[in-house]
């Protein structure tokens, strides 16, 4: 398989670890706050993140008026997560400061409520690619909670999960597996084998083994997760569909393309039913369908799916966003596979412009780091086999590699 074929599937967006960011159970709350939280959650899962954040801020205002400082800190941590998810890091930092200020003034630096904000700061630094800082703050949080709640508390498991995510993103898969296994053990002991949070841990272990290329192990964990989700939810639930989708990704890598297509089409139909046809999840499925069709040499179908994904991501994120750049890159790979070198150059050029304009903090991604290693290995060994445009194309990809190196490493 040439480098273009190999890299295409690596741009898949949804090999998701299920981040457990609500680190501890929400304390008892009043009906008005409960209603606002419910509205915020509904907007978040529908992809309307600004509206979700608006109602979470309203929750914080109610908590502040009532001087319910525990709830206020909890709301600060949720607001941070919303802003981190949207990559609005400056706004996230402001709410981290508010949460810490409240915690220090009302509880002290080592109190379990203040510990939530160390977790929030860890999530922010993780998203910005500061893995050392993320680990440091997650460890502060987990040490505070172990002292306050005990080593086998569910909230400790959630921080072990977050540490597993960071180590996976830093490609330290051995440490990642160790933390995920510790989280799994606590959840199985406290919640039982068939609990949803136990399924999250199985899913996360599947992701790490997928990264390692151990696809049978990945499938085994994904199937465990899926079976638990299906025992709790119907087939339209987001966790059930995400787990099934991850199985499709593994099938793609095993070159079982017909199986992958069947899974992707099943997930696509159900996600459209749940989220509508313009949600980013739909864009991710279109991306994966484009990749599988390219491998099956279905040029027109592949381009059609990538263009559908591009339309969704541009409408959602704007022109300069990692997901948009990846789709242009994928379009270029399709054209190279079918010897449309001018079209490939045009798409790589647009992808390059998108990546150049993206802030450093938005490019940290295990797939991108893997792509970097593949680029360097490939282009030290041989030239791209293309027509008279080969030197320009090779030069363009070297430029892309330089920008990846600048922004990622």
**How do the pLDDT tens digits run along the chain, 409 residues long?**
332 222 232 233 333 433 333 333 344 455 677 788 788 777 877 767 888 888 889 889 988 998 999 999 999 999 999 898 888 999 999 999 999 999 999 999 999 999 999 999 999 999 888 999 999 999 999 999 999 999 999 999 999 999 999 999 888 999 999 999 999 999 999 999 999 999 999 999 999 999 999 999 999 999 999 999 999 998 888 889 999 999 999 999 999 999 999 999 999 999 999 889 999 899 999 999 999 999 999 999 999 999 999 999 999 888 888 788 889 888 888 887 887 877 877 787 777 777 666 544 344 444 444 444 554 454 443 443 333 334 334 435 544 544 444 444 4
What distance in Å separates the CA atoms of residue 19 and residue 158, rounded to the nearest whole number?
A: 9
Q: Which two tokens stand for residue 19?
A: 């981040």
Taking the C-alpha atoms of residue 187 and residue 184, their distance in angstroms, rounded to an integer, is 5
Is 296 contained in some domain? yes
Contact in structure between 367 and 12 (CB atoms under 8 Å): yes
Looking at residue 361, its pLDDT comes to 38
- The answer to whether the beta carbons of residues 360 and 397 sit under 8 Å apart is no
Alpha helix ranges (H) inside 318-389: 322-337, 341-357, 366-381
Measured distance CA(202)–CA(40) in Å, rounded: 28
Residue corresponding to tokens 């907007």: 43
Overall residue count recorded for the chain in this entry: 409
CATH of the domain at 190: 1.25.40.10
Residues with Cβ within 8 Å of residue 227, at least 6 apart in sequence: none
This prediction has a pTM of 0.75
Contacts of 161 (CB under 8 A, 6+ apart): 19, 20, 179, 180, 183, 200, 201, 204
> Looking at the domain assignment, is residue 98 inside a domain?
no
What total of structural domains would you count in the chain?
1
Residue 225 CB-density burial (10 A; 0-12 exposed, 13-18 middle, 19+ buried):
buried
373: in domain: yes
**CA 87 – CA 67 distance, rounded (Å):** 30
Looking up tokens 């017909």, which residue turns up?
258
Contact present, 267 and 276 (Cβ < 8 Å): no
Write out the H or E segment, with its range, that includes residue 38: helix 31-45
What letter would DSSP give residue 360?
A: G
Residues 6+ apart with CB under 8 A from 260: 248, 249, 251, 252, 288, 292
Cβ contacts of 71-75, under 8 Å, gap ≥ 24: 71/26, 71/27, 71/29, 71/33, 72/99, 72/102, 73/99, 73/102, 73/103, 73/113, 73/114, 73/116, 73/117, 74/26, 74/27, 74/116
Residue 85 in domain:
no
**pLDDT, position 323:** 83
Cβ-count burial 25-41 (b if 16+ within 10 Å, e if not): eeeebeeebeebbebbe
Predicted local distance difference test score (pLDDT) of residue 173:
93
CA distances from 99 to 60, 75, 92, 231 (A): 10, 9, 11, 38
Domain that holds residue 309: 3-30+150-408
369 within some domain:
yes
CA separation, residue 129 to residues 132, 188, 249 (Å):
9, 31, 25
Which pLDDT value is given to residue 7? 28
Among residues 119, 170, 124, 166, the alpha carbon closest in space to that of 141 is found at 119
Would residue 50 count as lying in a domain?
A: no
Q: How far, in Å, CA of 274 to CA of 280, rounded? A: 12
Give the Cα separation of 289 and 286 in Å (integer): 5
Residue 88 φ/ψ, nearest 5 degrees: -100, 75
- Tell me, yes or no, whether 295 lies in a domain: yes
Which helix or strand (DSSP H or E) is residue 22 part of?
A: none
Contact 80, 124 (CB under 8 A): yes
Residue 86 lies in a domain: no
Residue 388's CB: how many other CB atoms inside 10 A?
Answer: 7
* Strand, helix or coil for residue 111: coil
Q: How far is CA 15 from CA 96, 126, 379, 408, in A?
A: 28, 17, 27, 20
Q: What is the DSSP letter of 237?
A: S
């Amino acid at each position: 398989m040439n480098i273009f074929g190999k890299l295409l599937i690596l741009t898949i967006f949804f090999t998701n670890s299920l981040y457990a960011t609500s680190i501890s159970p929400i304390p008892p709350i009043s009906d008005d706050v409960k209603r606002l939280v419910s509205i915020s959650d509904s907007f978040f899962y529908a992809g309307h993140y600004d509206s979700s954040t608006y109602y979470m801020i309203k929750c914080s205002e109610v908590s502040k008026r009532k001087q319910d400082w525990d709830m206020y800190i909890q709301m600060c941590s949720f607001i941070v997560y919303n802003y981190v998810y949207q990559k609005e890091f400056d706004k996230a930092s402001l709410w981290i400061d508010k949460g810490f200020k409240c915690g220090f003034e009302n509880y002290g630096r080592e109190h379990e409520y203040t510990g939530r904000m160390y977790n929030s700061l860890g999530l922010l630094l993780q998203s910005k690619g500061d893995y050392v800082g993320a680990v440091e703050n997650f460890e502060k949080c987990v040490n505070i909670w172990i002292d306050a709640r005990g080593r086998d508390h569910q909230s400790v498991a959630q921080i072990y999960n977050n540490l597993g995510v960071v180590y996976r993103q830093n490609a330290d898969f051995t440490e990642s597996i160790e933390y995920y296994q510790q989280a799994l053990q606590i959840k199985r002991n406290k919640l039982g084998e068939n609990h949803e949070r136990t399924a999250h841990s199985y899913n996360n272990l599947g992701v790490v083994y997928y990264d390692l290329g151990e696809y049978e192990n990945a499938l085994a964990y994904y199937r465990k997760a899926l079976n638990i989700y299906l025992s709790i939810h119907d087939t339209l639930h987001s966790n059930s569909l995400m787990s099934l989708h991850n199985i499709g990704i593994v099938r793609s890598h095993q070159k079982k393309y017909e199986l992958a297509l069947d899974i992707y089409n099943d997930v696509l139909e159900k996600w459209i039913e749940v989220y509508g046809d313009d949600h980013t999840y739909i864009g991710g499925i279109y991306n994966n369908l484009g990749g599988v069709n390219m491998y099956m040499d279905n040029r027109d179908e592949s381009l059609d799916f990538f263009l559908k994904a591009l339309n969704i991501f541009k409408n959602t994120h704007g022109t300069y966003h990692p997901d948009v750049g990846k789709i242009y890159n994928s379009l270029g790979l399709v054209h190279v596979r079918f010897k449309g070198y001018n079209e490939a150059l045009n798409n790589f050029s647009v992808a390059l412009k998108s990546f150049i304009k993206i802030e450093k903090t938005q490019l940290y991604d295990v797939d991108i780091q893997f792509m970097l290693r593949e680029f360097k290995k490939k282009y030290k060994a041989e030239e791209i086999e293309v027509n008279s445009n080969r030197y320009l194309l090779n030069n363009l990809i070297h430029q892309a590699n330089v920008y990846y190196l600048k922004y990622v490493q």
